[in-house]
Amino acid sequence: MSKFRPKTPVEIQAMREGGKILAETLLWLKEEKVVSGMSTQDIDSYTREFFKKKGVEPVFLGYYGFTGVICTSINDAVIHGVPNDKTIIQEGDIVSLDCGLKHKGMIVDSALTFGVGEIPEPTRLLLERTQKSLYKAIKALKNGATTGDLGYAVENYIDQFGYGIIRDYAGHGVGHSLHEDPTIPNYGAKGKGDTFITGMTIAIEPMITLGSEDVYIDADDEWTVYTDDGSLSAHFEHTVLVTENGAEILTQL
């Protein structure tokens, strides 16, 4: 008997609908709104407007005191970047957007990282490989798989490039709350950890750096997580439904 309760068909459908809205939000920001010269506060404002238009609720706003509706993490910021009017995006930056929303009482969570203008080849490859590691983990997911299976899938793929895998933060269950059990690290051993069952909904989110896996939290905003060595970091995340023979990505169009 699993200790995790699967979501009901009605709850899953609400997450499918919310997931599509969230995917649309992030793609709209990436393709149409984020440009050099704008502040991360501008990104937050656009997101608020889009959510209002779609009739969905931002779940990051007020979460343990967080002041934005979206996390905006630039270059060596790994996650949890607080939108503000002083952080100005420049040509060649990489921008990670992490966002969650509530629709019909159910929460979905997703993130992506992209370059603004031209970015160097090593940076482009970091983004491409981090995203690919997410899909490696999703491919390993099905009824009866373990958190260790997913962590192994990410780690086994990423290790060949000599990148850093963030160990202080991890994926998680999601649905009724933004963060539910189980914790899903981006490293691990096959067959170890908690077991997934059909109907569970989880957020898988590899965070990969060009250098060290060590991080610190900004002393001023007490939120933004940076790489210790100043190396660039990429972050991709999907909310995913566990099925009998695989997984369904809920946060994609």
| Domain CATH number, residue 109 | 3.90.230.10
Q: How far is CA 230 from the centre of its chain?
A: 20
- In a domain? residue 218: yes
pTM equals 0.97
- In a domain? residue 2: no
- In a domain? residue 4: no
- In a domain? residue 88: yes
Q: How many domains does the chain have?
A: 1
Contact 204, 150 (CB under 8 A): yes
- pLDDT tens, residue order, the chain (253 aa): 567 889 999 999 999 999 999 999 999 999 999 999 999 999 999 999 999 999 999 999 999 999 999 999 999 999 999 999 999 999 999 999 999 999 999 999 999 999 999 999 999 999 999 999 999 999 999 999 999 999 999 999 999 999 999 999 999 999 999 999 999 999 999 999 999 999 999 999 999 999 999 999 999 999 999 999 999 999 999 999 999 999 999 999 9
226 beta partners: 77, 216
Closest by CA to 147, choosing from 157, 139, 137, is: 137
- Structural domain span for residue 192: 9-249
- In a domain? residue 1: no
